[in-house]
Homo-oligomer: A and B are copies of this chain.
């Protein structure tokens, strides 16, 4: 049987093509592969499900063993967030034209170029910055590249990194900035913000996150920008774009590079496969020269008033210069950029403000509700956006109890700390349900303790 995916495996056409080429057998094309390198047996792979329905059954039985966040009530965040994904976002990014396109020229792929140009342009408005990259892999990579950009720009090899950063992200930064760049960790202050720091002229950048890993909104951005600039360093701020309808964009308080993840903008959680990174700067040529990513820009055509698109400053890239380019560039996460553009266009300024206000209010409501359920809420005095940490006796035990009730209560940061995430998807009733479940679990623990 000719497989539906391999038309020219059909014996008749195969013979016809071989004849046209003048080859006797397909083996002829492999004559350059020495016999000792040839695999002399079939690959040892499972029996295939050639019939689509059999494959569907197999996949459904595997995937049916997962219980997702639409079945359970999930308060998991920590870098991957359960925001509402407008149906139009899914409609656009599942269009075959976008889903299966790649690297066409700005003529036959005009639409792809325009969609990505519009994405970076809308991000530019949100960030109040003029230069935004076509998405890189994720927020981790964006942070790593932003710091390398700062180092290349300043010619220095040391960065001060906020201590309120996820452990995995720090792991990525350590790997990615090795071997040449030193990371100095800044302390976390008692309120959950970046603590007091000392800088000198060997630092290339201060790296700040807001909201940070604890969901705390950093309020000292301007001060840190001034500190950095006073030492010839840059301020690099990682900010979640979904907060920027209500929170000031990094540029507003003096950041030189903004970066972060755009998964919150209309992309499903996708078990962590929905991440995509943005990096933004002002239109400052020396700094723009440090971008490794593609930058798309408007170009005129032979017809006045018509917009074409193309790569800005292509000669920065590894495509153009191999190892002499800035880091590297390749397939990354463009479709999520298009999707985030759709999201921003749907939301507009009003929607972005409202979603921010809703998240701020519900986060605070959840903090109060869990405090009411008897948990100690960390950094309670700070402004929180979407996440906050609570201290418990035994994080794993509490989460197990909640999971038994169909609640994913949060991400354990350590044995006694749970990070709780609340978005506009969580209704007040959802939060009340969590608080009640926590209170009842604590009662059960108390009783268990008494026995």
Contact = CB atoms under 8 A, between A and B. Distances in A.
A398 B159 CA distance: 72
Interface stretch (A83-91, A192-200, A243-251): A83-91
A306 interface: no
Contacts of A427: 57
A435 to B, nearest CB: 19
A3 interface: no
Contacts of A52: 84, 86-87
Contacts of A346: 4
Contacts of A60: 70
Contacts of A350: 1
A1 B1 CA distance: 59
Nearest to A84: B53
A91 B84 contact: no
Interface in A88-103: 91, 96
Contacts of A4: 346
Nearest to A96: B91
Nearest to A427: B57
A22 to B, nearest CB: 31
A230 interface: no
Task: Count the copies.
Answer: 2
A403 interface: no
Nearest to A2: B350
A7 to B, nearest CB: 12
Contacts of A91: 96
A4 B84 CA distance: 16
Contacts of A321: none
Name A's interface SS. helix
A52 B86 CA distance: 7
Interface in A46-65: 52-53, 56-57, 60
A425 interface: yes
Contacts of A70: 60
A261 interface: no
A256 interface: no
A53 B424 contact: yes
A48 B146 CA distance: 45
Nearest to A83: B53
A1 B351 CA distance: 11
Contact of A84 (B56, B86, B424, B425): B56
Interface in A416-431: 424-425, 427
Interface in A77-136: 84, 86-87, 91, 96
Nearest to A52: B86
A196 B87 CA distance: 57
Nearest to A358: B51
A231 B18 CA distance: 60
Contacts of A53: 84, 424-425
Nearest to A425: B53
A160 to B, nearest CB: 39
Nearest to A346: B4
A56 B425 CA distance: 10
Contacts of A86: 52
A184 to B, nearest CB: 42
Contacts of A1: 350
A96 B97 CA distance: 12
Interface in A392-446: 424-425, 427
A54 to B, nearest CB: 8
A427 B60 CA distance: 14
Contacts of A57: 427
A53 B346 CA distance: 13
A425 B52 CA distance: 10
Contacts of A424: 53
A345 to B, nearest CB: 12
12 contacts: A1-B350, A4-B346, A52-B84, A52-B86, A52-B87, A53-B84, A53-B424, A53-B425, A56-B84, A57-B427, A60-B70, A91-B96
Top 10 A-B residue pairs of the complex, sorted by shortest distance between their CB atoms: A53-B84, A52-B86, A53-B425, A53-B424, A52-B84, A52-B87, A91-B96, A60-B70, A57-B427, A56-B84
Given A4-B346, A52-B87, A57-B427, 5 more contacts: A1-B350, A52-B84, A53-B84, A53-B425, A91-B96
